[in-house]
Amino acid sequence: MASVDLENVTKRFGRTEVIKGIDLTIENGRLTVFVGPSGCGKSTLLRLIAGLEEVTSGKIHIGDENVTDWPPAERGVAMVFQSYALYPHMKVFDNMAFGLKISRTKRNEIEERVRHAARILRIEPLLNHKPGELSGGQRQRVAIGRAIVREPKVFLFDEPLSNLDASLRVQMRLELASLQRELDATMVYVTHDQTEAMTLGHTIVVLNEGRVEQVGTPLEVYRNPANRFVAGFIGSPE
């Protein structure tokens, strides 16, 4: 697992600057939540860390490596999206193994990693099923399993639970938190939902219009909002 350092990172799409000079350290072995209103740049920031977008300026380090110009596959990150993006014609096992097969991991190693992840996520009995036969929560576990088997240095989650109904969302949130502890993983989790951010994050990063408004524990941000925006957004007394 590794920390992530952003150094004065900016991103423009055409003439619009959507990430406006972000300096941030994401701690190793912690669950960091990016929270902010829709359109503030959360997904873009995550995609910059993943290498799915190129920075316009600035640097990104993962662990000791300056990965700013590295392709996604070499960064050691795994991303989980809200749309599960599972292959419908493949069994759960093969969906989870897919990324490893193309990276030429040995067969028994693949088998071992997939079974281990399936055990952690309690989806072992589903390995021979197709995604169409699974519930929303089970599909989301498969998508998370696909990330786990790659043994990434950093997990990136982009609103992974927003398609689930409220009670399942609460349950999956608890599961993610215990997964993080079990793997001692560095996780970055994006949400526009304040409650989710406050209950899930060790550290929360409040974003607004491409800038970091505040970084702190949920309690720090709640008790001492840095400005009116944070106070209003988190809903704490100013």
Name which of ligand ADP, Mg ion, none residue 49 binds, using a CB cut-off of 5 to 8 Å depending on partner kind.
none
Binding to ligand ADP in span 9-38, by CB under 6 A: 13, 18, 36, 38
Confirm or reject binding of residue 41 to ligand ADP (CB under 6 A). Answer: yes
Confirm or reject binding of residue 39 to ligand ADP (CB under 6 A). Answer: yes
Q: Of the ranges 42-50, 68-76, 130-138, 214-222, which one interacts with ligand ADP (CB under 6 A)? A: 42-50
Report how far residue 208's alpha carbon sits from residue 22's, in angstroms, rounded to the nearest whole number: 11
CB of residue 18 vs ligand ADP: minimum separation in angstroms?
Answer: 4
Please report where in the chains the tokens 């639970």 appear, as a residue. Answer: 161
Interaction pattern, residues 139-178, with ligand ADP; x per rule: CB under 6 A: ----------------------------------------
Report how far residue 126's alpha carbon sits from residue 105's, in angstroms, rounded to the nearest whole number: 22
Contact 7, 25 (CB under 8 A): no
CB contact burial 169-206 (16+ within 10 A = b; e otherwise):
beebbebbbebbeebebbbbbbbbbbebbbebbebbbb
Of the candidates 3, 26, 32, 42, which one interacts with ligand ADP according to CB under 6 A? 42
Confirm or reject binding of residue 186 to Mg ion (CB under 5 A). Answer: no
Of the candidates 43, 95, 186, 208, which one interacts with Mg ion according to CB under 5 A? 43
Contact 131, 88 (CB under 8 A): yes
Report how far residue 230's alpha carbon sits from residue 195's, in angstroms, rounded to the nearest whole number: 14
Name which of ligand ADP, Mg ion, none residue 39 binds, using a CB cut-off of 5 to 8 Å depending on partner kind.
ligand ADP
3-state secondary structure of 177: helix
Residues that bind ligand ADP (CB under 6 A): 13, 18, 36, 38-44
Residues that bind Mg ion (CB under 5 A): 43
